[in-house]
Amino acid sequence: MIRHLPNLLSGLRLLAAPFTAWLILESHDSAALAVFAGAGLSDGLDGYIARAWHVTSRFGAWLDPAADRLLMLLCFAALLVVGATPMWLVALVVARDTGIAAGWALIKLLGLPVTIRPLLLGKASTMVQILYILTVLLLLALDLDAPRLAQAAAWACGIFAILSAAAYAWVFLRRILAGRPFAS
């Protein structure tokens, strides 16, 4: 059973993504916060279980980041629709993720051997995105108006998205020009 637990948790996070977005759109802010926080905790838990009990899999290596990205993107989109996050930030996050996906696709098209490993800056960017969404959902759930906090959180999230995108672009470009496999 423990062997399948990381993938089960990632699968539940994948299902939580549209549910959380729906809760945001329907103004069930406290419920959205609870589901998002639970999904965030499951992300750490599935990785810990996979590493601690050596139950990693190729499918899990794909499912975990896919669930993370879907959760982030749907929450950002829903927060944009309800007017709780700025368009420029959503555009940055989407552009970063699209650029990373396009980079991997280009590497595959060129037939270069690829080892997929997220960069530390990419992980940091995802963590800042999680904290940003948690902050916005907490403000919504508590019906608090804190524009300076929200703006500072948005800027931090945007800066990390830009730095992460630049780091991935540098790695992709360097590897494409060298024709070598990826490793972080």
Dump pLDDT digits (tens) for 113-128: 766 678 899 989 999 9
Q: Which CATH superfamily is domain 5-178 in?
A: CDP-alcohol phosphotransferase transmembrane (TM) domain (1.20.120.1760)
Please tell me the predicted confidence (pLDDT) of residue 18: 97
Type of residue at 32: A
Tell me what pLDDT residue 184 has. Answer: 46
Evaluated on CA atoms 66, 67, 71, 77, the torsion sign reads: positive
Q: In this predicted structure, what is the pLDDT of residue 181?
A: 53
CA distances from 2 to 7, 54, 64 (A): 10, 10, 16
Instruction: Mention every residue, 6+ apart, whose C-beta is less than 8 A from residue 140.
Output: 24, 29, 32, 33, 82, 84
Query: Residue 56, CB half-sphere, CA atoms under 13 Å: how many?
Result: 8
Quote the longest CA-to-CA distance of the chain: 52
Helices (H) and strands (E) in the chain, counts: 6, 0
Which segments in the chain show pLDDT lower than 70?
Answer: 1, 114-116, 179-184
The rounded distance, in Å, linking the Cα atoms of 177 and 160 is: 26
Cβ 137 vs Cβ 182: under 8 Å = no
CA 48 to chain CA mean position, Å? 17
